[in-house]
Amino acid sequence: MARLLGINHVALEVDDIDEALAWYGQFFEFELRGRSAGQAFVDMGDQFLALATPRRQPPDAARHFGLVVDDKEAVRAALTEAGVAVKPGRRLDFHDPWGNQIEVVGYRDIQFTKAPEILRGMGLDGLEKTDAAREELRAKGLAG
């Protein structure tokens, strides 16, 4: 039996690739990994987000995915400034214009981790974890 190791990419359906890249570009700094007919691939170091057309699914209610960022509150501020409805509370959940539900989490606060060489390559080698996140990793035997 194969063991789950992580997520290589998440694919989102949107109505227009250029509009989606412009919309997400208001809130996240990113580079394109590549592009083909009806698809764009947003680089996230050793992972990527695939945007694909056309949108065939209804808007998401409970189904969502989480993006990890270096500064969650900067995303919250940018979403608020742009008039995007953010669900109340300490979590940062919102819908994009195509109905995809997204949760944004801060790298420092969760057990998700990138290898030091990946962080270095992304220009984030000073990014540290909180004590709680390090304890979560230690409890699983994933950190010293």
Above 80 in pLDDT, residue 144?
no
Residue 79's pLDDT is: 98
pLDDT at 65: 92
Complete domains list, the chain, with CATH:
9-109 (3.10.180.10)
Please say if the pLDDT value at position 104 is more than 80: yes
Give the C-alpha separation, 58 to 98, whole Å: 9
pLDDT tens for 6-21 read 899 999 999 999 999 9
For the purposes of burial, counting CB atoms within 10 Å of the CB of 111, is it exposed (0-12), middle (13-18) or buried (19 or more)?
middle
Chain-centroid distance, C-alpha 141: 25
**R_g of the chain, CA atoms, integer Å:** 16
Give yes or no for residue 61 having a pLDDT over 90: no
pTM for the complete prediction? 0.92
Asked if 31 and 107 count as a contact pair (C-beta separation under 8 A), the reply is no
